[in-house]
């Protein structure tokens, strides 16, 4: 392919190499050290939340966030179908009833009008994604959820660099979850994630879970004095845990600790992020200008005052035959086309839970008939963008000729 989707969604260079070298040469711990603390501090300042806690992947961020909600069997969770499988995958283990909420045709974000019809007294949580980096209509969604006592989780894997009414995704609801996979806007050496929120009780619990401790409820130890073996001053770990009595285990912990080298790279990447996002927007503006010259097309744009991160560049055609003609012509021209993402309610594991065709007609029609995704990333050179723009113009002319 002349123009491909990226193997890396961001630029890595000498500054990242220097950061890793500094970690190695510095003599500080390689885990749970100063680099993670610095990365988390800078990230929470950027997003605008009280806490930002790193983990080993975006999937782990989502798993942890959902565990914090203390969902119980029989609870309902409303989920978008237009996202990668990791968004909803943790729900398969939780015994909850999943309801898929259709999306808006022009944004592919969760549709608040459909959500209003689905919310019930059993709804415990709403789980959405800012598709492609375009912020969902969060004020409406959060307001609807609050009326039913439901919590809202933002999957922000696409949204780093976006803005919604002056605020950053990850600070717009109860919990935000970010991915630093190598394909995303920034990366922490290929994998990594972050959970953002404001509640101190969640911070205490999440820190235990990610640090190979147990998420439990406890009381001070109240047993007979003679039952306690003596604890010497240097037995600090024993003193912390032995003098507690566990009353309930919420979840066994795991090791989800981001390495110091990954965190150091994350700091450098966060500094690059604004420039990378501006580059994505510049590419998207040129593509939008071409798409807008043709009938039978729609672009994927942010509302006035909001800012699109353009993790994905998406547009739509109004006819499946035109889309087929366009995609085949782009392929012959050496431009890679991908369709992101197959509607989740139609994948085997969710069909096995009773979901199927017709539940989310807008998402289904978009994927099967209308949607197109093109390469849009900071690794594209000016020559690449020129070629992509001209190829798109020529191929759209073929597709829209009839």
Domains annotated on the chain, with CATH:
14-211+254-262 (3.40.640.10), 217-247 (no CATH), 273-399 (3.90.1150.10)
Residue 219, burial from CB neighbour count under 10 angstroms (0-12, 13-18, 19+): exposed
Polymer length in residues for the chain? 402
Percent of the chain with pLDDT over 90: 87
In 3D space, the residue among 402, 381, 385, 362 whose CA is nearest the CA of residue 80 turns out to be: 362
3 state SS of 134:
coil
Higher per-residue confidence, 295 vs 230? 295
Sign of CA dihedral 255, 259, 265, 267: positive
pLDDT of residue 236: 53
With cut-offs at 50, 70 and 90, classify the pLDDT of residue 20.
very high
Quote the tokens at residue 297. Answer: 């097309």
> Around Cβ 385, how many Cβ atoms within 10 Å?
18
Report pLDDT digits (tens) over 24-46.
Answer: 999 898 999 999 999 999 999 99
Could you list the beta-strand ranges (E) of 156-243.
175-179, 193-197, 215-220
In 3D space, the residue among 46, 4, 39 whose CA is nearest the CA of residue 274 turns out to be: 46
* Mean local confidence (pLDDT), 76-81: 98
Q: Is 39:262 a contact under the CB 8 Å cutoff?
A: no
Report pLDDT digits (tens) over 212-226.
Answer: 777 777 776 655 554
Higher per-residue confidence, 240 vs 24? 24
> Around Cβ 15, how many Cβ atoms within 10 Å?
14
Cα 131 to its chain centre, rounded Å, is 9
3 state SS of 246:
strand
Secondary structure letter of residue 366 according to DSSP: I
Q: Which stretches within 80-136 are classed as H helix? A: 112-118
3 state SS of 373:
strand
Considering the entire predicted model, what is its pTM?
0.94
């Amino acid at each position: 392919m002349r123009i491909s989707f990226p193997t890396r969604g961001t630029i890595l260079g000498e500054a990242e190499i220097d950061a890793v070298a500094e970690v190695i040469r510095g003599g500080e711990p390689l885990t749970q050290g100063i680099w993670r603390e610095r990365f988390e501090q800078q990230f929470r300042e950027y997003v605008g939340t009280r806490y930002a806690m790193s983990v080993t992947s975006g999937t782990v961020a989502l798993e942890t966030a959902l565990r914090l909600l203390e969902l119980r069997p029989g609870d309902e969770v409303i989920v978008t179908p237009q996202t990668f499988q990791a968004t909803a995958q943790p729900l398969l283990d939780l015994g909850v009833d999943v309801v898929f909420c259709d999306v808006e045709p022009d944004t592919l974000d969760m549709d608040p009008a459909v959500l209003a019809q689905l919310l019930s007294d059993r709804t415990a949580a709403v789980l959405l994604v800012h598709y492609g980096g375009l912020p969902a209509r969060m004020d409406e969604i959060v307001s609807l959820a609050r009326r039913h006592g439901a919590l809202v989780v933002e999957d922000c894997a696409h949204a780093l660099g976006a803005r919604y009414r002056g605020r950053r995704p990850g600070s717009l609801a109860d919990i935000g979850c970010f991915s630093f996979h190598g394909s995303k806007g920034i990366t922490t050496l290929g994998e990594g994630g972050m959970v953002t929120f404001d509640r101190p009780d969640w911070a205490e619990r999440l820190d235990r879970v990610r640090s190979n401790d147990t998420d439990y409820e406890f009381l001070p130890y109240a047993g007979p004095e003679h039952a306690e073996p003596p604890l010497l001053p240097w037995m600090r770990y024993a003193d912390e845990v032995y003098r507690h009595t566990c009353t309930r285990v919420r979840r066994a912990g795991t090791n989800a600790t981001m390495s110091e080298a990954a965190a150091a790279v994350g700091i450098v990447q966060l500094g690059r992020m604004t420039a990378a996002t501006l580059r994505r927007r510049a590419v998207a503006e040129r593509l939008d200008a071409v798409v807008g010259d043709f009938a039978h097309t729609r672009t994927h744009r942010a509302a006035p005052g909001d800012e699109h991160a353009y993790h994905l560049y998406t547009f739509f055609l109004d006819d499946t035959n035109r889309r087929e003609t366009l995609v085949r012509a782009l392929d012959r021209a050496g431009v890679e086309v991908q369709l992101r993402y197959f509607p989740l309610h139609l994948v085997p594991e969710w069909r096995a839970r009773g979901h199927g065709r017709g539940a989310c007609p807008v998402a289904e029609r978009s994927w099967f008939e209308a949607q197109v995704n093109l390469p849009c990333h900071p690794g594209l050179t000016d020559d690449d963008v020129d070629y992509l723009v001209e190829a798109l113009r020529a191929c759209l002319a073929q597709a829209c000729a009839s």
